[in-house]
Structure 1
Amino acid sequence: MGRRSERLSKQGMLASDLAGEGDVIQVVSRAFDVLRCFEGHEARLGNLEISSRCGLPRSTVSRLTHTLTRMGQLVYLPRDQKYRIGPSAVAMSTSMMKGLQLRNLIRLRLQDVADQLPGTVGFVIPDRYHLVYLEFARAANALGLHEGTGSRISMTSTAAGFAYTAALDMDVGDALIAEMEREIPGDAALLKARIEDNRHHLREHGYVLGCGTWSPHINGCAVPVWSPQYQTFVVVTIGLLAAMFDENRLHQEVAPQMIELGAAIGGLLEGAEGDIFANRIERKPLPVPVRNNNKIIKTEDTNELEAGARRARPARSVRARDGRR
């Protein structure tokens, strides 16, 4: 792998951009900014609306939408004088769904927790200053939080965002916050004020809480998990009604289940590249974590750890100190 590729894969996003190295092709970055404006297949936006959403000059947006339309990424609607997501973008996203079996297994894991806790359990992936739900599950009696697949949540005010940024290498996390301060200063302040506490709590306990930061009525708990496929941290998270689950109850009742969920999802992600297309991934019982020197390991790994083996384990903990915090 080349040096630039190593930099880009350090935390699964444009680390070189965040570090100020300036080797990002701006026109490509702006084209993706335009596509991000379309939340949902039915979204219809004009150049002025796109310009307002992504903060680019209207003339720049006009050139980008013209090019993206020629490429099939957008479709122009003459009657509305607006654009919507095009067939090429849909086809590209569909090709990314080949891991549907894995996602189904992840959804089952999420549902295992949702059946025990009256909240919304999610599996999210980072997208610039937000996180996007790839999968979710909730109990029939879930109250308060109703996010769904494709929903975007803030990285600066949610338990999932706190967990993701706390898991990043310190230099990468600090560079990301610095970028946020330039782009979204108001939102970045909350994250910056608590990043050190989040990092400390994640190292010590393996999870992060967010109580009333996104909404005064919602408390959350989240666990970051390293994804070999995406070369970044993904996050398993749960949102619960604050009136039912205060901070103490999150620590005592919710966090242990989320840590187990994170270990299970980590095991699925570790085995996905070799097994997902061969239909050999099985749904196994949630692992029971064993604590050893403040680490969470899977019981089947105990002998290997005692022997000092260094090879990759089925489920990574952010406390395993494997170079990714």
Structure 2
Amino acid sequence: MSFTPQEDESKDRLFVEALARGLRVLSAFRPGESALSNQVLAQRTGLPKSTVSRLTYTLTKLGYLSQDADSGYYRLGLAVLALGSAVLGSYDIRRVAAPLMRDFALKHTISVSLGMRDGSDIVYLETCRSQARVSVQLSVGSRVPLASTAIGRACYSSLSTTERELADTDMAARYGQDWPLVQAKLEQARQQVLQRGYSESFGEFERDVMAVGVALPSPAPGQGSLCLNASGPAFAFDADTMRQQIAPALMQLARQIVPGA
């Protein structure tokens, strides 16, 4: 879940500020965290602690949060899970992709994931981990940055000029003074995709992870850009292996999932 309020939203008479604040609270939770206090939620959202307290109370009453009886901290509730399941269920491509991805992961002893762009991030819709003893530990719902991952770079490279300009604006705000360097890396990745059909990220997102990525056509009008990656530990996959074996296989997987990809 991604929420990035804009300065001019307060001038939009259709914009419901109370709803937006509640969504900011839900967006503050990150994968792998057990529970958060009102103080931490206030820090992450930039909202006053008194406002956060009212929001967490309301969200708990509605089932979107649950409160630990001992610590008083909050975790995401089952109502959020129901929403997430509804979202994932709306993407029919997952049902097509999942068995093909499992076969790919088993055959190549590498993890493979399907993701969709959400602002300047990629959200994983499906993932199949390698059966190897050590594999990349990301799961459905995990978020990774567009700029430094193979899956993100593949997705970025597939955007239209207008979409890319909007993504650039988001990332310029996110990376600040580092944006020119980040932008140069993204353009380099885009040229690679145009020439070779895939992107790569070797130790840039996680030092010991090697990954390649490819883009998929949108499965339906109005749905965002989809992309695939294959990622594995650097001790098992070097750059040559990723480029010569895994990348061509991943492009073939993309064509199996969406003919003509």
Instruction: Please confirm whether the aligned pair reaches a TM-score higher than 0.5, indicating the same fold.
Output: yes
2:46 and 2:179 map into 1 onto residues whose CA distance is 17
Count of residue pairs brought into register by the alignment: 253
SS in 1 for 2:131: coil
Q: How does 1:60-79 map to 2 (within 5 A)?
A: 60-79=51-70
1:250 aligns with 2:242: yes
What do residues 6-62 of structure 1 show as CA deviations (whole Å, max 9, x unaligned)?
A: xxxxxxx99xx7xx9x86837344433321223459732122111233444434433
What do residues 170-213 of structure 1 show as CA deviations (whole Å, max 9, x unaligned)?
A: 33223323223323437756531212122222223321111111
The answer for unaligned runs of 5 or more in structure 2 is none
Instruction: Provide the residue aligned with 2:230 in structure 1.
Output: 238
1:224 and 1:66 map into 2 onto residues whose CA distance is 41
SS in 2 for 1:232: coil
Instruction: Provide the residue aligned with 2:106 in structure 1.
Output: 115
Coordinate RMSD, CA, aligned = 3.3
Aligned partner letter, 1:146: Q
Distance 1:90 1:218, change over 3 A: closer
Distance 1:230 1:83, change over 3 A: farther
Contact kept, 8 Å, 2:212 with 2:230, in 1: the verdict is yes
Contact kept, 8 Å, 1:131 with 1:152, in 2: the verdict is yes
Contact kept, 8 Å, 1:237 with 1:258, in 2: the verdict is yes
2:158 and 2:207 map into 1 onto residues whose CA distance is 25
Contact kept, 8 Å, 2:120 with 2:170, in 1: the verdict is no
What do residues 61-90 of structure 1 show as CA deviations (whole Å, max 9, x unaligned)?
A: 334334433433223445322222233323
SS in 1 for 2:116: strand
1:130 aligns with 2:121: yes
Q: How does 1:176-215 map to 2 (within 5 A)?
A: 176-185=167-176, 188=179, 191-215=182-206
1:205 and 1:29 map into 2 onto residues whose CA distance is 42
Distance 1:91 1:144, change over 3 A: closer
SS in 1 for 2:137: coil
Q: How does 1:102-181 map to 2 (within 5 A)?
A: 103-141=94-132, 143-181=134-172
Percentage of pairs with the same residue = 26
What do residues 113-161 of structure 1 show as CA deviations (whole Å, max 9, x unaligned)?
A: 2123232111122333332222222332263522223332222221111
Distance 1:99 1:178, change over 3 A: closer
Aligned partner letter, 1:235: C
Instruction: Provide the residue aligned with 2:252 in structure 1.
Output: 260
SS in 2 for 1:227: coil
Distance 1:237 1:51, change over 3 A: same
The answer for unaligned runs of 5 or more in structure 1 is 1-12, 267-314, 318-325
Aligned partner letter, 2:256: A
SS in 1 for 2:214: strand
Q: Please identify, of 148-157 and 253-262, the stretch whose mean Cα deviation from structure 2 is larger.
A: 148-157
2:76 pairs with 82, 85, 91, which one? Answer: 85
Q: Please identify, of 157-166 and 58-67, the stretch whose mean Cα deviation from structure 2 is larger.
A: 58-67
Instruction: Provide the residue aligned with 1:25 in structure 2.
Output: 15
1:144 and 1:190 map into 2 onto residues whose CA distance is 30
Residue 227 of structure 1, CA deviation: 3.0
Contact kept, 8 Å, 1:69 with 1:75, in 2: the verdict is yes
Contact kept, 8 Å, 1:109 with 1:265, in 2: the verdict is yes
2:121 and 2:47 map into 1 onto residues whose CA distance is 19
Q: Please identify, of 43-52 and 70-79, the stretch whose mean Cα deviation from structure 2 is larger.
A: 70-79
Instruction: Provide the residue aligned with 1:35 in structure 2.
Output: 26
Contact kept, 8 Å, 1:41 with 1:84, in 2: the verdict is no
Contact kept, 8 Å, 1:118 with 1:142, in 2: the verdict is no
Instruction: Provide the residue aligned with 2:35 in structure 1.
Output: 44
1:43 and 1:153 map into 2 onto residues whose CA distance is 20
SS in 2 for 1:257: helix
